[in-house]
Amino acid sequence: MVGSLILLWPLLVATEFRPLQLFDAQSREPTLRFLATMVPPAIHSDFLQLVIRESWRTVAIATAGIALALLVALPATLVSVRVLSVSALSGRMSPAAFLLRQGVRWVLILLRSVPELIWALVFVRVVGLGPTAGVLAIALTYGGMLGKVYAEILESGDPTVAQTLLRNGSSRLQAFFYGVLPQNAAELTSYTVYRWECAIRSSVVLGFVGAGGLGQQLDSSMKMFAGGEVSTLLLVFILLVGIADFVSSWLRRQLG
């Protein structure tokens, strides 16, 4: 008991953990006022129209981002996957090929390690406020993620078919399309659909730094302390995530 308290104490200090602060008069009043304004959600028609438009934009940013991410991920996967190495058929992979594959892999890991919010912050500086920054941010982060996982999925499959094809003189692309892709296609598609669902969730968050969609609307409603609008947006957001969840699990069941 004492030991765990000693362990916990630095955490409490570092995070400025003061629960009582939530209940003192200074923060209680604005909180209660905000909660009170949330109760009838705003449902007048022009606001609802705006919400529907922004929800579509959120989905569109995620979809366009994933489409561009595939443009990054597919070539990177083709280059970096070890099963398609010709020199590895006879013992070790040649050093140049190994360096190329490892280099592409490191680039993918780097793309993936920078959170999409940071990419969005940087791109908002360059291209200005709007969906372009969000699409680019999703494209880069998810490109890295998809590329890395695609390569792992392809390498976890049975390599004999592709190796036999390569040994008998097929090109790498032929070996990919006839040897590697058929046995892994369902898993690849299912992972892509799952990532699309994740992208919808993160495109809402990207709106907070000005990349368009529901998040931007939520941010501005919150800054105006318009509680009714905030609660409508939160409900719509929960609904959207629920629908994406449902569609993605249904699609994955169909593919599986």
Partner 1 sequence: MSSAKITFQPAANRPYRLPPPLSGARHTAVWFSLGLLCLVSASFISLDLQWSAFFSAQAVGGMGRFIGEFYPPDLSPAFTSKLLYASIETLAMSALGTLLAAIAGLALALPASRMHTSDAAWLRTPTRLLLNALRSIPELVWAALLLISAGLGPFAGTLALACHTSGVLGRLYAEAIENAPPGPAYALRTQGLGGARVFLYATLPQILPQIISYTLYRWENNIRAAAVLGVVGAGGLGQLLAFHMGLFQMAKTASILGAMVLLVVLVDALSYGLRRMMTR
- Residue closer to partner 1 by CB (options 50, 109) is 109
Site of tokens 């409490």: 12
Minimum Å distance from CB 84 to partner 1?
24
Least distance from C-beta 172 to partner 1, angstroms?
25
Please name the residues in contact with 111: beta carbons below 8 A apart, sequence gap of 6 or more: 72, 140, 141, 143, 144, 147
Shortest gap between Cβ of 177 and partner 1 (angstroms)? 16
Residue 86 or 198 with smaller CB distance to partner 1: 198
Least Cβ distance, residue 188 to partner 1 (angstroms): 14
How far is C-alpha 54 from the chain's CA centre?
A: 19
**Two tokens, residue 17:** 């953990």
Q: Which is nearer to partner 1, 83 or 120 (CB)?
A: 120
Angle at 251 between CA 246 and CA 256, to 5 degrees: 125
Q: How far is the CB of 247 from partner 1 (least distance, A)?
A: 11
Tokens representing residue 175 in the block? 């070996």
Residue number, 86 or 234, with CB nearest to partner 1: 234
Q: Give the binding site for partner 1 (CB under 8 A).
A: 8, 10-12, 14-18, 21-22, 27-28, 30-31, 34, 56-57, 59-61, 63-64, 67, 109-110, 113-115, 117-118, 121-122, 125-128, 130-132, 135-136, 201-202, 204-205, 208-209, 215, 218-219, 222, 230, 234, 237-238, 241-242, 254
SS3 24: coil
CA-to-CA dists, residue 70 to 26, 142, 148, 177, 216, angstroms: 50, 8, 12, 17, 26
* Contact call for residues 146 and 195 (beta carbons, < 8 A): yes
Q: Which is nearer to partner 1, 85 or 231 (CB)?
A: 231
